[in-house]
Amino acid sequence: MKSAWLMLALPLAALSASAWGQAIDFSTIEIKTDQVAPNLYMLSGSAGLDPAHEDAAGGRIGVLAGPDGVFMVDAQYAQLSDKVLAAVRRISPAPIRFLVNTHIHRDHTGGNAYFAKLGAVIFARAELREEMGRPRTIDGAPAIAPANFAVVTYGLGGPVQFHMDGEIVDLIPIRAAHTGGDTAIRFEHANAIMIGDYYRNFGYPFIDINNGGSLNGMLEALDVTYKMAAPDTRLIPGHGTTINRNDLLPYRDMVKGVAASVQQLIAQGKSLQEIVAAHPTGPYDSKVPGGLLPAAGSGTSADRFVTELYHELKG
C-alpha cells in the first residue's frame, strides 16, 4: 500500500508544487525583518500572498551578522532572492559566508544557488542532499539543479558548531520528522532555536513521507526540542509565531490524538476516503489556525495530515 501511495504522490507533488508556485505573485511580496537579539534577525515574507503559507510567504530566514560575516538559515523561494539579499544588506554589508538548510522544501532552499554564487558555503544533512539529487521529473533529470546542493553535509550525531560573530551556532540533526533531513539551529547566546517545519502553529503538521518524514520522528523531534530548550528559550518555527517549549506539549498531544483516532478507524477496516470523511481532527480544529484552509494538492491542511497518518500507519 505504501509503495503505491509513493508512486502516486510523487507526480502529484510535482504538479501541485508547480500549480501553487504559479499562483504566487512574487512581485508583490516584501521581506519583513525582526530583530531577535543584538546580532540575530529573522526575515519573513508578506502575509496573505502565498496560498501554501497564508501567515507569511515562504519560510522564515535567520541572519546572524557581525564582524566575522553573515551566517544564514534557509534561503526562501528562488524568486525572492534579490529581495532577501536586499534585506540582508540592510542588516550588514559583510560577506555571506555560510548558509544552512533546515530541510529540503523549496520555500527554504530555492535561493541556495543564488547565495552560493555570492560565496556562501551551503551546509545541510546528507539526507537532504541525497533527496535533492533524486530524479523527480519524467525525463529522469533532477528536479533541483546541482547548484542548490549542499557543499558540506553531516549526519545524525552531535551538533556541528560554528563560532562566529560572538555567537555559538549549533546545527542539531533531527531524526526523520517533517522530512528525512531536518536540522534545528540553536544560537546559544541569543537563547533561540530555529526549528524548521516539524512544528507549525498555522495549519496541521506536514509529515512529508515522500522526503523521508515520519510520525514517530516528528514526535521524537518535539520531545528532543522540549528537552534542549530552557523555559525562556525562544523557539522559532519556519512558519508561524515564536513559541516557548511549553507550547510543544499540546501540539505533541494533538499529533498523538489524531494519530490514535486514525489508527482506530484503520482497525475498523475503514478506507482512506471514509477516514478523511470522518474528520478525526475535529476536536482540534478550533485550536489550529489555518487547519481547514487548503493545502497544496491535498484538500485542506487537516485532510493532508489525516492522509499522511493513514498511509504511514497502514503501511
**In percent, how much of the chain has pLDDT > 70?**
90
**In percent, how much of the chain has pLDDT > 90?**
85
What do you get for the CA distance between the two ends of the chain, in Å?
A: 6
**Looking at residue 143, what is its pLDDT?**
79
Please, what sign has the CA dihedral across residues 102, 30, 203, 293?
negative
**Looking at residue 295, what is its pLDDT?**
86
pLDDT at 114 > cutoff 60:
yes
Domain 2-249 homologous superfamily, CATH: Ribonuclease Z/Hydroxyacylglutathione hydrolase-like (3.60.15.10)
DSSP 8-state secondary structure symbol assigned to residue 80: G
pLDDT at 137 > cutoff 90:
no
d(CA 179, CA 174): 9
How confident is residue 54, by pLDDT bands cut at 50, 70 and 90? confident
pLDDT at 69 > cutoff 70:
yes
Domain ranges of the chain: 2-249
pTM greater than 0.75:
yes
pLDDT at 139 > cutoff 80:
no
Long-range Cβ pairs for the range 136-144 (8 Å, 24+): 136/10, 136/14, 137/14, 143/14, 144/106, 144/109
Are 307 and 276 in contact by the 8 Å Cβ rule? The answer is yes
pLDDT at 216 > cutoff 80:
yes
As to burial, measured by CB atoms within 10 angstroms (0-12 exposed, 13-18 middle, 19+ buried), residue 129 is: buried
**Looking at residue 80, what is its pLDDT?**
98
How confident is residue 5, by pLDDT bands cut at 50, 70 and 90? very low
Mean pLDDT over 32-39 rounds to 98
**Looking at residue 298, what is its pLDDT?**
65
Residue with cell 498523538: 256
